[in-house]
Structure 1
Amino acid sequence: MPVMRPEDLLLPTPRGLYCPPADVFIDPVRPVPRALVTHGHSDHARAGHDAVLATATTLKIMAIRYGAGFAGTTQAAGWGETTSINGVTFTFFPAGHILGSAQIAVSHRGLTIVVSGDYKRAADPTAEPFEVVPCDVFITEATFGLPVFRHPDAAGEVAKLLASVRLFPDRAHLVGAY
């Protein structure tokens, strides 16, 4: 069989990123019959799907956020485990963004596309470390992709916070976080 074209495996639709051969959506924006969810933030994880495949942690976050009946059925994907739907394989790998966040490798007929969801390559004690996944196409989030976004070094910001707490121990310290 010839190698698939990327647009035959995943394509954007009004409901979200769609995989026609498997008839599933990744991080759909409205309820669909079958959804694969990269992580528990509300711009990726929504209630009302008939079936959801996500990491166990993401499913727990969704249940806390939306209630126990947030989907008709749920299935937990373990790291590196492959699930096959209509001959298309889906494998979840750590994304390093938040606890339970995943990249999803979608493979079919010689083509592998990795959908990153949100990810972070820097070490973070609150999330499983990002894992580089070999692929033909990498679909990345670009929330902070513009050059105008320059985030300071996290260790330096934590040091400033701790210094302020030592200097002003009786004052409240507000921590903004994304």
Structure 2
Amino acid sequence: MIRSEDLLHPTPAGLYCPPGDFYVDPVRPVDRAVVTHGHSDHARSGHGAVLATPQTLAIMAERYGEDFTRLRQPVAYGETASHNGVDIRLVPAGHVLGSAQAVITHQGLTMVVSGDYKRRRDPTCVGFEPVPCHVFISEATFGLPVFTHPPDAEEIGRLVQSLGQFPDRAHLVGAYALGKAQRVIRLLREAGWERPIYVHGALERLNRLYEREGIDLGPILPATGLKKDALGGEVAIAPPSAIQDRWARRFADPVTAFASGWMLVKARARQRGVELPLVISDHADWPELIATFEEIRPEEVWITHGREEGLLRWAELNGMKGRALRLVGYDEEDEAEDSPPISAHPRESGDPVLL
């Protein structure tokens, strides 16, 4: 069996597979990339060829333009592609629409690059699928025991309750444009909120993409061209930066809310001036991380970014070999989608080969 370090190892550009000659979620333009999902710290433009789910490729085209790469290889969940004798299979990660784990197999060794993932139900994407493997490569955004997130329905229930308590105030919810905003909308619909939901212009194109993919968001209206003191008793969703910007001043005595796993930390909510913190995360919390390790039982766990010390200690106490990769270029949940996507022009040197 090939050694794990010979199949995948960290480089300044990201995780590299020498026998397959490709990178997974590279942080700089490369000739061949496997991309796990569409968030801008994992999916960057300028690669020669990109292998990803059809939904992730569509998200990248929407955000970067149709020329974000020279060549695309769509791979549906469960399908396998091969390059230089290395098999690549994509399985659901449960993070956002189209998010996938990259299952990489070569010479008897299976390694899973999980990307970002969560284990709880999400009405806007396919749920996480555990895959037996020798090496499981995991994020650790919320990799400390203090991070135990409440049920999503309870948090959305707090928002609905506030709407009833303050019927004359607009409720502005900060939520990232890809994944979180659509999830909050669907959770509101499941909680019985049937009225139109108003959205910032930055969300409109991705909302339409979700609708094309069969995610029913219900009646959506643009939060533009409104009179001063508008939307009393209504919900508006915007990127987190917008709820503290001039954009928010037109609304009626707004209740500011923010949907993020970090809202469990009261100091973060105070720093952002959030009146109604909603603990809704698209990442696994501590119990979900541990449950995943226990279910898969890999020989090794590699931690790519986040709070790796707690997970490494847990692995040691539970008979698993652990390793901190300390990859750079990946953002925490609070930061990844609060800035515009990083753009770059496609590589102009060499002719890339599709995976």
TM-score band (shorter)? over 0.9
1:107-165 deviation per Cα after TM superposition (whole angstroms, max 9, x unaligned)? 00000000000001101101111111111110001122134544333121011111111
Q: 1:33 aligns with which of 31, 34, 43?
A: 31
Structure of higher CA gyration radius = 2
SS of residue paired to 1:164:
helix
- The separation in 1 between residues aligned to 2:24 and 2:93, in whole angstroms, is 15
Q: Which amino acid aligns with 2:172?
A: L
Q: Within 5 Å, which residues of 2 pair with 1:22-171?
A: 22-171=20-169
Q: Which amino acid aligns with 2:60?
A: M
- Worse-matched range after superposition: 168-177 or 46-55: 168-177
- The separation in 2 between residues aligned to 1:121 and 1:86, in whole angstroms, is 33
- Number of positions where the alignment pairs a residue of Structure 1 with one of Structure 2: 176
- The separation in 2 between residues aligned to 1:14 and 1:146, in whole angstroms, is 27
Percent pairwise identity: 64
Q: Which amino acid aligns with 1:47?
A: S
Which residue number in structure 2 is paired with residue 18 of structure 1?
A: 16
Q: Which amino acid aligns with 2:71?
A: T
Decide which structure has greater strand share: 1
Which residue number in structure 2 is paired with residue 173 of structure 1?
A: 171
Q: How does the TM-score come out when normalised to structure 2?
A: 0.48
Q: Which amino acid aligns with 1:177?
A: A
Q: Provide the aligned C-alpha RMSD in A.
A: 1.1
Runs of 4+ in 1 over 4 A off after TM superposition: none
- The separation in 1 between residues aligned to 2:144 and 2:13, in whole angstroms, is 25
* Structure having greater relative contact order (Cα 8 Å, sep ≥ 6): 2
SS of residue paired to 1:83:
strand
Q: How does the TM-score come out when normalised to structure 1?
A: 0.95
SS of residue paired to 1:22:
coil
1:5-52 deviation per Cα after TM superposition (whole angstroms, max 9, x unaligned)? 110100000000000000000000000000000000011000000000
SS of residue paired to 1:120:
coil
- The separation in 2 between residues aligned to 1:64 and 1:146, in whole angstroms, is 35
SS of residue paired to 1:174:
strand
- The separation in 2 between residues aligned to 1:54 and 1:76, in whole angstroms, is 5
SS of residue paired to 1:49:
coil
SS of residue paired to 1:60:
helix
Shift, 1:88, TM fit: 0.3
SS of residue paired to 1:39:
coil
